[in-house]
Structure 1
Amino acid sequence: MSFRAWLVTNHAGEQSPLGDVARDVRDDDEWPDIQFESLREYLEYLNSQDASEDVLDLIEEAWGQYKERDR
């Protein structure tokens, strides 16, 4: 499962800051179609979109959860 699909599936229904980010990702028509292999690539995309530090921190936290599920 891609990071985007995982994030939306697991967090878009939450009433939390991460849920807000997941809904933003879900609704972002410019979100990269390819599955990046590193957090750095997602952060670069978000920086190009002028994402706040809070959003970057939440994506980093979510990435850790996403990668942890593989263990």
Structure 2
Amino acid sequence: MNFYRWMMSKHLRTEAPVGDLARDMKGDKDFPHDGNLDEILEYLESKGACFGCMDACMEAWKQYERESHRAKTGSGS
């Protein structure tokens, strides 16, 4: 699962900055759905994203990578 799909499934209804980011991602037809972290951060910066948005993205990416790693290894911890 890519980051975009993960954000839609995990945070679309979250009442926190990461939820705001997920909703912005959904509403942006040009968002790089298959982008890596650097591409996504560059895109957000090009759109004038605030520090809070960038920080939410970086924290969400860390969580995404942890969960993706667990899914690949079959580890529940």
1:56-71 equivalences under 5 Å are 56-71=54-69
Structure 2: give runs of 5+ residues left out of the alignment: 70-77
Q: Does 1:30 align with 2:30?
A: yes
Give the TM-score normalised by the residue count of structure 1. Answer: 0.88
The list of structure 1 runs, each at least 4 consecutive aligned residues, that deviate by more than 2 angstroms after superposition, is none
Greater helix proportion: 2
Q: CA deviation at 1:70?
A: 2.2
Q: Which has the larger radius of gyration?
A: 2
Identity %: 38
Structure 1, unpaired ranges of 5+ = none
**Residue aligning to 2:48:** 50
Q: Displacement, 1:50?
A: 0.7
CA RMSD of aligned residues (A): 1.1
